[in-house]
Amino acid sequence: MADFYTTFVKGLPRDEWGHPALPMPERISRRDYASRLLTLQIELVRMQQWVRAARERVLIFFEGRDTAGKGGTIQRPAQTVEAERTRRAGTRGLWENYTLAALELFLRTDQPETPWWFVNNNNKRVGRLNLIQHVLALLPYEGKDESAIGQARQDIVAPVRALLPTITPDRP
């Protein structure tokens, strides 16, 4: 798995700080997006029912810069989940300092039991759908319809631990 990401990220152009400049995923029509989102929201309800019945807990922490699409990415799955069970967070800071702090956070807290996942959200619709697919695929809830969920794209949702060696800037 790491080989795919290492090859993928190393082939990308770099920004002024040396970070990979991610490509813009293809566009998806509003009709296709709405149809796919509805299918995934049905699965989200099934997952929520399982969480309640099994007395499980699921925590999804969204970390990202302002205007990174966190709000809409959180809002779409939450449309079918009870509002009091969903909380939103945002941070502000200087771009490079924030990047270094985020990388440090990932390095210190990414564990097999509590992994961080990176979502290429350059195309908000594609990023949201792939994120929802990924979350649903991870959880073992009853009544899961694998064919309805599909599989998140590797170039959209990636384990941070596979990407860190390719995006961690050299420090002086």
| pLDDT at site 89 | 37
The answer to the question of residue 162 being in a domain is: yes
CATH number at residue 160: 3.40.50.300
| pLDDT at site 90 | 41
The answer to the question of residue 110 being in a domain is: yes
Report DSSP letters for 71-127, one per residue: HHHHHHHHTTS-GGG---------HHHHHHHHHHHHHHH--SSS--EEE--SSHHHH
Q: Count how many domains the chain has.
A: 1
The answer to the question of residue 28 being in a domain is: yes
Is pLDDT of 149 > 60? Answer: yes
Per residue in 11-61, pLDDT tens? 777 766 666 777 778 889 999 999 999 999 999 999 999 999 999 988 777
The answer to the question of residue 132 being in a domain is: yes
Give me 34's structure tokens.
């709405």
The answer to the question of residue 172 being in a domain is: no
Average pLDDT, the chain: 77
pLDDT band at residue 152 under the 50/70/90 scheme: very high
How distant, in Å, are the alpha carbons of 40, 46, 141, 146 from that of 34? 10, 19, 24, 19
What pTM value is reported for the model? 0.69
165: nearest Cα among 1, 4, 6, 3: 6
The answer to the question of residue 45 being in a domain is: yes
| pLDDT at site 96 | 67
User: What's the domain range around 54?
Assistant: 2-167
Is pLDDT of 91 > 60? Answer: no
